[in-house]
Copies of this chain bind each other. A is one copy, B any other.
């Protein structure tokens, strides 16, 4: 095993004689890798720039005031508090020196015997990075809080508006991207306006709010069967969402979006249209990438040329044994993280590595109250039972009993009372635009 042998020399700088596994990222992949190594004689260091693991599938509910940030996050060092072979560091990766098996963090450099890169993806703007100011994405808790601030503040500004043009600007919401996140956001904003806020304003009628969902391709939820795309389209239309298909966004400004054939004036634009590899991954050397910058890994999840470096999660691009792309979903990331961990153990034991085999657990997306789509292999369910299944699956996979109870109660409350529990506007974050006619009053 040349990789191990080579790196053992390097790691002699480390006091421990156990192989040192460095995991970058505490998302689904990093977490699974760390946990899968719990009972093996290795020394693990897990690094994340946040102090928490985030349950991204429910992030849109934080952005639309249904849940609090703490409900869907769990401190990483708490998750691993009982796993003595793992140390959590809240730090950030600057770059790599793969030849000497070293990763440079802000506060220190670490030598590794094995590296698992699970840094994930961020929101992508297809090269139009300046759009981020006007149309923030939804990948982190801070972004979710920012989206919530924008959505709730828009209604406040509409209430304060001086003329009907301004009112309409602030009562128009644009969601770009017809994947699950875009569909979920559009549905949740429509329900917020139609029901939750309906009685709260005196000057405006929040039920007159317009929600536009923009998709460049020919259908919503393109990863789902066509019948489910159609179902989502119909449900959203019924909820008052105006869905635009085959309309790529050509420009985004503080006052709205320009589409190929029309334009929409809006004070609040949310971006759920693309992903981009974490930019630190550019420092991993000359590896083939797709357009989003995701790394094309070997079937065993290692990168070409370096036998001790694995990539797992959304950052890894590969096709499974049947030639199908492994999707950017939480179950896939978890499986990849676990696979990387297993291969590390095999390599230490001198055994040959195995290719990653993706087990497709199906796919689901919620559209609104009592409405979701779910599929598993050839079975598709739409509507109420899909929604119940969605609720159950997300509760089960959410980490921590306290968070499960809290989320369950928030859902029950919202369902019964038609209210959202987290309609609180908190301050603007650094480096974000405030949209048009920003004042100091938020």
Question: Could you list which residues of chain A lie within 8 angstroms of chain B, going by C-beta atoms?
Answer: 49-52, 68-71, 73, 75, 77-78, 81-82, 87-92, 105-108, 141-142, 145, 152-153, 156, 159-160, 162, 199-203, 402-403, 405-406, 409-410, 413, 417, 419, 421-430, 439-442
Contact = CB atoms under 8 A, between A and B. Distances in A.
Contact of A199 (B70, B81, B421): B81
Nearest to A54: B424
B199 A75 contact: no
Q: How many copies does the complex hold?
A: 2
Nearest to A421: B402
Contacts of A156: 51, 90
B421 A142 contact: no
B160 A425 contact: no
A91 B78 CA distance: 40
A50 B149 CA distance: 11
B90 A51 contact: no
A107 B160 CA distance: 7
Given A409-B409, A429-B429, 12 more contacts: A49-B441, A51-B156, A68-B422, A69-B426, A75-B424, A77-B200, A87-B202, A90-B441, A107-B160, A402-B417, A402-B419, A406-B410
Contact of A68 (B52, B70, B105, B108): B70
A76 B157 CA distance: 15
B77 A424 contact: no
B68 A106 contact: no
Contact of A430 (B51, B410, B427): B427
